[in-house]
Structure 1
Amino acid sequence: MDIFDDALELNEEVTPYYTSEQVMLLHGDAFETLAQVKDESVDAFITDPPYFLSNGGFSNSGGKVVSVDKGDWDKAENVDVEEFYSKLLDEARRVLKPNGALWIFGTMHNIYTLGYLLKKKDWAILNNVTWQKSNPAPNLSRRMFTHSTETILWAKKEKKAKQTFNYDLMREYNGGKQMKDVWTTSTIRNSERIFGKHPTQKPLALMERIIEASTGKGDVIIDPFVGSGTTALAGMIHGRQVIGVDLETEYLDIAKARIKNQELTLDLN
């Protein structure tokens, strides 16, 4: 646990929900927990924050009309969205090591705010990665194109910082050619939902690529909105240390089950 002790100074307001050699899950508010992370102590800050899209609208899932509401955590009521993201980026800058990486997800609804704030705060954006979903939900209104992409911004704290980029590995995965910034995958496989489902869960393959591309073995990753634990799971698989935080025990239970299942798999191998 020494590697987590090097990064964290926890008080009674934030409690470990699950710990292992590679993963520590924490139950608590993202900002209260980030305040207890030491300055320049983590190698990568990888997260899919609230998009604040839960507004009573409807979408399509499996051919059925469903509410777009994800939960109270995704509602913009009483939240200054720009201030929320601004505070998140400030905390990311503080906890990241000088050459650390920031990866943050978004859609057209919030990515321009995030991009604006990154530039305003003098982050250096390395790539604007487009995740193209091969099986997106259809657009029910039939008054616009189907929304089939999300954006992932990869940035570093300073322009002169030397970020980790495992170029040769990415080229190998891409058949000997440079990997482009458009990544196409399906959404979530059924096997990734056997312990439960998070409404904004990302594919494991997507998170694995991010981690393999921009971190090294033994690096410390933090995800303050870890949800069902995809960041933690991907980090485990590739020998990284991951600190995951979430306010909802429902999702931490899913994350814990996925992690314990992966630990069993690793032990059997």
Structure 2
Amino acid sequence: MEQVYGDNNVKLVLADAFEYLTSLPDKSIDVIATDPPYFLSNGGMSNSGGKQVSVNKGEWDEKGDVDVEAFYNKILEESYRVLKDNGTLWIFGSMHNIYIIGYLLPKVGFKILNNITWQKSNPAPNLSRRMFTHSTETILWAKKKDGKQLFNYDHMRKINNHKQMKDVWTTSTINKSEKRFGKHPTQKPLAVMIRLLEASTNNKSLVLDPFVGSGTTAVAGKLLNIRVIGVDSEKDFLDIAKHRVEDFRNEKVGKIQ
């Protein structure tokens, strides 16, 4: 493990996610917000900018001989251990993996609070023309079964035109400013990460992202003045994250509905 960046809000660590998680003491984290590998890199084809491209994202996303269910179960077990009694977990997924995660959450001891649907307003077309266009991903928000989650209800209602906020959030995919130092193949919009942290943290919270990638969670923490630990096993992605955090004032947050 090697810390590659640190300031008053953000710490970026080069390490294997499981190695770092197991090094943490019990009940030491307030919120975990993360986007683990989906294991979609199987040699197939996808769409980028209207062009057919390889679906492969990198070795970190290749299934190989990984037992996918055991992989996610280990993430959830360690997350449960390091979260405080009233801590919460936000975990991203697509149709390819979210049902496995949703099945495992209660087995580990979590209770699902919300099933957030992130709707992409500009999804890539489906080149096969044999199914509907994939335009959504899911974010599951969960707490420990007997915990009492922090939820900033009044603030979320205020930023939603004084109406209760619904569980469907719509944004475009990431904008150019979020890719100015390079991009991650599964990078999430900054607006989405800001919203989920605004909903579930305060100025005393400590947030962990064990698969931080290009650092969106860390940038959101800088903008909100919340402490974030970001961990990744890929140095190239952490280099992007470091540059983004150092230049966070120039990040442009996209619109979210």
SS in 2 for 1:257: helix
1:201 is matched with: 187
**Distance (whole Å) between structure 1 residues aligned to residue 248 and residue 140 of structure 2:** 28
Structure 1 residue 263 displacement after superposition: 6.4
Within 5 Å, which residues of 2 pair with 1:33-52? 33-52=20-39
Structure 1 vs Structure 2: percent identity of aligned residues? 64
Task: Give the deviation of 1:264 after TM superposition.
Answer: 8.4
The TM-score, its normalising length taken from structure 1, stands at: 0.91
Q: Partners of 2:134 and 2:113 in 1: how far apart?
A: 24
Counterpart residue number, 1:78: 65
Structure 1 unpaired stretches of 5+: 1-13
Q: Which residue of 2 aligns with 1:236?
A: 222
Q: Determine if contact 1:45/1:222 at 8 Å carries over to the other structure.
A: yes
Matched, 1:68 2:59: no
C-alpha distance after superposition, 1:167-225 (max 9, x if no partner): 01111111111000000000100110001000000000000000000111131000000
Could you say which residue in structure 2 is the equivalent of 1:54?
A: 41
- Report how many aligned residue pairs link the two structures: 251
Q: What letter matches 1:31 in structure 2?
A: F
Alignment-mate amino acid for residue 79 of structure 1:
V
Determine which of 226, 229, 244 is the counterpart of 1:258: 244
Alpha-carbon RMSD: 1.1
Letter in 2 for 1:55: N
Q: State the secondary structure of the residue aligned to 1:196.
A: coil
- Which of 129, 135, 147 is 1:161 aligned to? 147
Contact 2:173–2:188 (CA<8 Å) still a contact in 1?
yes
Q: Alignment partner for residue 163 of structure 2, among 177, 189, 202?
A: 177
* 5+ residue gaps, structure 2: 252-257
The corresponding residue for 2:105 is 118
* Distance of 2:48 and 2:156 partners within structure 1: 33
Question: 2:80, 2:108 within 8 Å by CA — same for their partners in 1?
Answer: no
2:89 is aligned to 102
DSSP 3-state at the match of 1:35: helix
Question: What's the TM-score once normalised by structure 2's chain length?
Answer: 0.96
Amino acid at match of 1:218: K
- How far off is 1:109 after superposition? 0.3
